[in-house]
Each structure stands twice: as structure tokens, then as C-alpha cells.
Amino acid sequence: METQNVLLEIKDRVAIVTVNRPEKLNALNGDTITALADAMSSANDNPEVRCVILTGAGPKSFVAGADISEIQTLNIEEGAKFSRIGQQAFRYIENMRKPVLAAVNGFALGGGCELAMACHLRIAAENAKFGLPEINLGIIPGYGGTQRLPRLVGLSNALHLALTGDMIDAENAHRLGLVSEVVPAAELMERAEKLAGILASKAPLAAGFILDAVYEGVQTDIDSALDIEAGYFGKVCETEDMKEGTAAFLEKRKPNFEGK
């Protein structure tokens, strides 16, 4: 039986997407990127799914990067295309309007770190390691790392990591703000599923508008960003979830958000 490079499981409104090439530390070859894009789009299109967890198979690695064996022979055009394919798959994830949580269970290097950064939230196992080691291969991060890392950890930390290729452990990643939580490895998926359950219980349209407002707003000046926020605040006021959430508070009961 052919092994699937990416697994998709759906339970209790949460999709769990697992990159599944543990023998290659879940390195992303072309087929795996295609399978990942398919799994994410299927989770995105499924109205039952309200939150996605992205993780790697096995105890050792989230994703150890793009598959280096597919890089060596690239020329200038092929290199740019290679970069674009990964960028587009990761941008699709970032643009999703359901929270995507990376559960980083080991190495998140190069494309693996870039994949985690394209997710909206990241939690890490204590044994996780992060880095952009591309410079050690004579290349640069090409799946968004040169752009997302400085946005997440600041120019100084980002340049240090990208120019040295150094790996950092989960505690340091937490200190830099690259992950929001570090948990013992054995508890990672339990914690990820608990957090995903909380995210899935929230008002889905409001979650989408928060993602839109934050991602659009951070790219512009504060006055334009506040206009963007006010626009989405207006839109959310048109939703049934807004009526339900405010009514539930006033009636002292739990809200039941239907995403309408």
C-alpha cells in the first residue's frame, strides 16, 4: 500500500493535518507540498471544520525543511518557481479564515520553520528546534522565511538566525515570541487538541475577521489599519453570531455560535 505523505483526520470540528514522511524527517518534497495544499484546502472547504492543527509524524521532527535532494540541480528560473510553489501553499494557509495551529513536535528547520510561521498560532514540544539553516547550504529561505521571521521576532533576531543558520530550542523560541507556549513532548497533541477545541468553540466569523484585521492591519500605517478594523467591526455586527453572543451574555448563558 502506498504511504500517504500527508494525513487528514477530522474530529470534533478540528482537522488534524500530519506531514507524514518520518523516514526523511517530514522533509517537503514536491509531492508532499501538493498533498499538504490539498489537505489544507479540504479542511478549509469543510463547513464542519472550525480549526486546523498542523503537525509532523514521528517523535523527532515537525518538518526538517524543503527536500534538499530536489534543490541541487535547480537553475535560475526553476529556483524561482520552486520558491513560488512553496510560498503559494504557505500563503494559502496564512490566508485561511479558520485558525491554524502548528503543533511543533521536533525539528522545524528551513521550510519547516517557514511552514510553522505561516500558521496563525504555534505551540512547541520541549524538544522542538527552530532555525533557518539554508545559508549552510548556500541558499536562502524561499518559502517566506525572510519575510515572516522579522515580522514575528524583529529584524535583529531574524537576521541573526538567517545569517548564522543557528538552531534555537523551544525555550528560546518562546522567549523570542516565535511560539506562544512550550509543553512536554508527551503532552503536545493533548494540549494542541485542547487549544483547538477552545478555538473551535468561538464565533467562526469573528475569528475570520480577527485574522483579516490583524494580517491586513500589520502591513499598513496605524490610521489605515484602524479603518480596516472599523470596517470589519461593522461587518461582524451584521452576523447572527453577534446577536447570539451578546444575547447569551445578557441572558447569562453559554453562546451557541453557528457561523452565520
Of the residues 12, 31, 38, 69, which one makes contact with ligand COA according to CB under 6 A = 69
Indicate if 181 belongs to the active site: no
Q: Which of 26, 239 has the CB closer to ligand COA? A: 26
**CB of 148 closer than 8 Å to CB of 114:** yes
| Distance in angstroms (rounded) separating the CA atoms of residues 5 and 57 | 10
Indicate if 114 belongs to the active site: yes
| Distance in angstroms (rounded) separating the CA atoms of residues 15 and 18 | 10
Q: Which of 25, 52 has the CB closer to ligand COA? A: 25
State yes or no: residue 202 binds ligand COA (CB under 6 A): no
What number of residues does the chain have? 260
State yes or no: residue 27 binds ligand COA (CB under 6 A): yes
| Distance in angstroms (rounded) separating the CA atoms of residues 199 and 15 | 12
| Distance in angstroms (rounded) separating the CA atoms of residues 89 and 189 | 24
Q: Which of 173, 205 has the CB closer to ligand COA? A: 173
Reading the block at residue 230, the C-alpha cell is 472599523
**Annotated active-site residue in 2, 48, 114, 216:** 114
Scanning 24-32, 45-53, 148-156, 252-260 for contacts with ligand COA by CB under 6 A, the matching segment is 24-32
State yes or no: residue 168 binds ligand COA (CB under 6 A): no
How crowded is residue 66: how many other Cβ atoms within 10 Å of its Cβ? 30
Of the residues 15, 57, 64, 195, which one makes contact with ligand COA according to CB under 6 A = 64
| Distance in angstroms (rounded) separating the CA atoms of residues 128 and 124 | 6
**CB of 114 closer than 8 Å to CB of 145:** yes
Of the residues 25, 93, 118, 213, which one makes contact with ligand COA according to CB under 6 A = 25
State yes or no: residue 66 binds ligand COA (CB under 6 A): yes
Q: Which of residues 82-121 bind ligand COA (CB under 6 A)?
A: 107, 109-111
- Total chain residues near ligand COA (CB under 6 A): 16
**Annotated active-site residue in 134, 193, 238, 258:** 134
Nearest C-alpha neighbor of 105 from the set 4, 175, 38, 182: 182
- The one-character DSSP state at 2 is P
Chain contacts with ligand COA (rule: CB under 6 A): 24-25, 27, 64-69, 107, 109-111, 133-134, 137
